[in-house]
Amino acid sequence: MMPSHSLRRFIFLSLTLCALIACSISPTSLPATIPATLTRVPASRPTSAPVLPTPMLTLPTPGKDLRQSAGAPVRQVSLRADLDYFAHRVRVQETISWPNRTGVALPHLAFDVLAARRPGVFTLTSGSVPGDPSATFTLNGAMLKIVLSKPLAADAVAVIAIEYTLDLPPIPRDADGTTGTLGWSVHQMNLGDWFPAVSAYRAGWAAERNPPHVVGETTAPEAVDITLDLGVRNAPDGLQVIASAPAEKVDGRYRFGLTGARSFALSLGTDYEITQATTASGILVRSAYFRQHAAAGRAALQTAAAALDVYAARFGPYHHRQLSLVEADFSDGMEYSGFYFLGNEYYAEYDGTPRNYLTAIAAHEVAHQWWYDEVGNDQAHEPWLDEALCIYSELVYYQATHPDLVDWWWDFRVTRFKPGGWVNSSVYDFAAFRPYVNAVYLRGALFLRDLRAAMGDAAFLDFLRRYRAAQSGRVATSNDFWSLLETYNVPNLARLRAAYFTPLPSPARTPIVQQSRTAPDPEQSSACTRPPDDTTRVQVDGHTVNARTLWMLKLAQRLYGGPGCILCVVQGSYAPGLKESFGTHDSGGAVDISIRNPANLDQVLWDEAPKMAVAMRRAGFAAWYRPTGMLGPDSGAHIHAIAIGDPELSEAARRQLDGPEGYFRGLDGVPPEYKGPHPDPHGGPVICPWMIEMGYKDLR
């Protein structure tokens, strides 16, 4: 994704960084002029030529063990959509086939439903799991949770059928790549992020730990095979349909198929001029633009075609048959599998040269076909794995096709912004795009520049090719990146990493594991279940806690079941020196939780805060709602919690349990210097049997 106007300029910078990184790529390795055949597609012609057969998916038998098959089935999504063009309404039947390759039995599934981020857009009308009539479907913000009556065994297949309606909203005048991709304007109707998408599972569902945020993307989609059968009612004359894949027109309906995809997007309208080209490697590229921007639309096409061949030569072949780019009636850019939007202001500002955002960002979005679509990642917690690499890739494009502009690009996109911050920041570390772009995009490009200088051109490009090949079709992690990189002899790699990435938790102290006892899955546990005795440090929303605390948070979220997000940590543990925490967060077991609505971050869930605190108490926390200003003029509303029995509690945290202002005394844990303590606002402690076994008791 390209951020909003000021951010775009950051990213352009980042791209510059990338350009420097690629400076030593021989500019003669690819011709500056791409040997592509340009063809203007007449407006009267259906937009989704060429015609290619795309049979609908054959779904496997529910519950079937994958090991009984000669070839393990892939994850599949089959969509039948009926669009009423003038009513701006889409009725959808979706069937998902999800083979459980996690290695563990799963009591529930979770999908990202980005269409539900805006009220009134997504309405779930039915849901079923063949063979499991007792399965329940709950839409919680932008996450769909499907609880099974019997856990889905490892290596078995779940088939989920859902039906829903999309009431497409008008695209706002100030829309960007987040708010403009699903909606309509007088020029176009966009279907991006429109259907529930399979979330990645890594010791928990990404959809459950990655709520929508004001900055960046937050999903970690799995690669799936997608088919779409689209019907359009009340279609205007000359309707054009541009999509992630070629279409076959059958009985008045459009049929599409795309394999190994993270998403599928479409744009429909009557105002497009469409030009297409075939790259040297045989990929069809289609550029749809508004007629008043014909020169810019053709330039965007040339850039996309050239970038496809540049990246294929360096990273590996493009894995789809077609790439579509569409001028958007909103600002910025947004990537999808086989498709991307480019904001209309880029077209309007095009000056006939490559020294502009249209060219740079077109190349950036093409790079997402490798870094996002082919190689996936957790875009909320590790956004650098796609965005930093796309910035670098933009540089590679300029070096290969416009080597005389590398210095210009470097200054325009990076150096003038003087970027700072940690490359491996999560989106939740930021409340605005500018610092996010500076850290993740621009500093990411600087890191790649320095890494390439340390490795040398051949080794660096070999590393990127091997990384792509090893992670193709997967949701890659930072560990995957570093593990492969460490097989190369990179001088001073530890020093380079320390310069750009936040330090990992100190290995000097061995995590405390008191005994081998492990607790059951929190999704299957009841209130007052004793938590595990594991203080291994982990990350939640970019904050450090231990595994015991994370387990308790997951149990609390399940016990609560409301619209709030108990897993939305705003302050973690092991964070010494926080003024208004008076030492409680210095070590383990202390967390502060947001009370904002994860589906609408402008909304504070005042009425839910007490319910969230009580659920956390039932999961083993001493938890209190802290209103705005309680601990000082700058303290915001949140829930403060101490994990009872954590072996690494600071002394201040222990006082909040059984000290003079403690939880077990029926008080709120606020020390006298902050005008406390006060009576417990939530009715007194929840005392579980395991707490008594550890020596805690009612001290009221």
Give DSSP secondary structure letters for 253-272.
EEEEEEEEES---EEEESSE
Least confident stretch, 68-72, 110-114, 563-567, 630-634:
68-72
The residues, any chain, with a CB within 8 Å of residue 580's CB and separated by 6 or more, are 631, 632, 634, 635
Six token digits for residue 307: 């970038």
pLDDT at 161 > cutoff 90 = yes
Cα Rg of the chain, angstroms: 26
pLDDT band at residue 431 under the 50/70/90 scheme: confident
Residue % of the chain over a pLDDT of 90: 66
pLDDT band at residue 618 under the 50/70/90 scheme: very high
pLDDT band at residue 73 under the 50/70/90 scheme: low
Query: Judging by beta carbons within 10 Å of its beta carbon (0-12, 13-18, 19+), is residue 576 exposed, middle or buried?
Result: exposed
Alpha-helical regions (H) of 333-477: 344-348, 357-367, 384-401, 406-413, 433-436, 443-455, 457-471
pLDDT at 363 > cutoff 80 = yes
Tokens 């059984």 found at: 658
More confident residue, 652 or 136: 136
Six token digits for residue 268: 């429909």
Length, in residues, of the chain = 700
Distance CA 184, CA 168 (A): 7
pLDDT at 163 > cutoff 50 = yes
pLDDT band at residue 56 under the 50/70/90 scheme: very low
Distance CA 316, CA 630 (A): 56
Most confident of 173-177, 509-513, 550-554: 550-554
Are 19 and 348 spatial neighbours (Cβ–Cβ below 8 Å)? no
Q: Quick check: helix, strand or coil at residue 92?
A: strand
For residues 404-429, give the mean pLDDT: 91
For residues 359-370, give the mean pLDDT: 97
For residues 315-339, give the mean pLDDT: 96
For residues 355-376, give the mean pLDDT: 97
Q: Are strands 284-290 and 253-261 parallel, antiparallel or unpaired?
A: unpaired
Give tens-digit pLDDT for 496-534: 999 999 864 333 322 223 333 455 788 778 888 999 988
Distance CA 259, CA 244 (A): 11
Q: Where are the domains of the chain?
A: 5-33+373-500, 61-262, 522-693
Q: What's the whole-number average pLDDT of the chain?
A: 86
Distance CA 474, CA 376 (A): 6
pLDDT at 44 > cutoff 50 = no
More confident residue, 521 or 343: 343
CA dihedral 443, 448, 454, 455 (to 10 degrees): 170
- pLDDT of res. 4: 41
CA distances from 509 to 277, 419, 547 (A): 59, 33, 15
> Which residues is 232 bridged to in the sheet?
83
Tell me the CATH class for 61-262. Answer: mainly beta
CA distances from 340 to 4, 19, 245, 360, 368 (A): 16, 22, 12, 14, 9
Are 406 and 398 spatial neighbours (Cβ–Cβ below 8 Å)? yes
pLDDT band at residue 351 under the 50/70/90 scheme: very high
Whether omega before 73 lies within 30 degrees of 0, making that bond cis, reads: no
Which strands sit side by side in the sheet containing 182-184, from one edge to the other? 182-184, 189-191, 266-269, 240-243
- pLDDT of res. 2: 58
CA distances from 465 to 229, 279, 284, 470 (A): 35, 21, 23, 9
- pLDDT of res. 580: 60
Total Cβ atoms within 10 A of residue 174: 10
For residues 223-247, give the mean pLDDT: 97
Give tens-digit pLDDT for 452-462: 999 999 999 99
- pLDDT of res. 519: 59
Least confident stretch, 226-230, 371-375, 535-539, 642-646:
535-539
Distance CA 80, CA 95 (A): 9
pLDDT band at residue 62 under the 50/70/90 scheme: very low
> Which of 485, 509, 566 has its CA nearest to residue 209?
566
Least confident stretch, 41-55, 126-140, 152-166, 382-396:
41-55
Least confident stretch, 29-38, 199-208, 322-331, 456-465:
29-38
Most confident of 428-437, 457-466, 630-639, 645-654: 457-466
Report pTM.
0.69
Distance CA 316, CA 310 (A): 10
Least confident stretch, 49-53, 433-437, 576-580, 693-697:
49-53
> Which residues is 339 bridged to in the sheet?
324, 336
At position 106, the amino acid (one-letter code) is L
pLDDT at 406 > cutoff 80 = yes
For residues 75-80, give the mean pLDDT: 97
Residue % of the chain over a pLDDT of 70: 86
pLDDT band at residue 72 under the 50/70/90 scheme: low
For residues 103-122, give the mean pLDDT: 94
| Count helices and strands in the chain by DSSP H and E runs | 16, 31
Q: CATH number for the 5-33+373-500 domain, one of 1.10.3470, 1.10.10, 1.10.390, 1.10.540? A: 1.10.390
Element containing residue 109 per DSSP (H, E) = strand 106-112
Six token digits for residue 670: 């606020």
- pLDDT of res. 601: 81
More confident residue, 518 or 281: 281
The residues, any chain, with a CB within 8 Å of residue 96's CB and separated by 6 or more, are 75, 76, 77, 78, 111, 158, 159, 160, 161, 162, 196, 198
Distance CA 296, CA 289 (A): 8
